[in-house]
Amino acid sequence: MFKHLLSSIGFNGMTVDTLVARSQFDRHEHVTGIVRIERDDHHIDHIELTLIERVPNHDETSEFATYDRVLEKLSLTDNGDDIPFSFPVPARIQSLEHEFVIMTQLFIDGSVDASDEDYIQFI
């Protein structure tokens, strides 16, 4: 019911899907793909891609099993419905065994921001 109410007043109308070229990347190449946007009438203020390494949290006083470590952050120009991106694999990865996530965020004027998460691996 609440989801339908948000849609009826223009929230959640715009969606984003990050399509990476592959799910595995060699440490010596670029992560590539496109950000696909389904638009509505709202204006996109800016688009941000963040590569995150999920690191095990060994702090016994914490309630969180992992913490997010930002490895790379890109700002993309809104130039259409399919926006290409490319960035080198960062050299400062702690461990190839960790979980890696590309988080995409559309910052939308006057609406709820749209986001997407995609998991990738480095070999």
Give tens-digit pLDDT for 36-94: 998 887 889 899 999 999 999 999 999 999 999 999 999 998 888 899 999 999 999 99
* Residue 3: pLDDT over 60: no
Q: What is the C-alpha separation between 8 and 82, in angstroms, rounded?
A: 26
* Range 14-122 has CATH code 2.60.40.640: yes
Residues 6+ apart with CB under 8 A from 1: none
Q: Is the pTM of this model over 0.75?
A: yes
Q: Please state, in angstroms and rounded to a whole number, the distance separating the CA atoms of residues 54 and 70.
A: 9
Under a CB-based contact definition with an 8 Å cutoff, are residues 104 and 116 in contact?
A: yes
Q: How do beta strands 24-25 and 114-122 pair?
A: parallel
pLDDT at 8: 33
Q: How far apart are CA 51 and CA 31, in angstroms?
A: 10
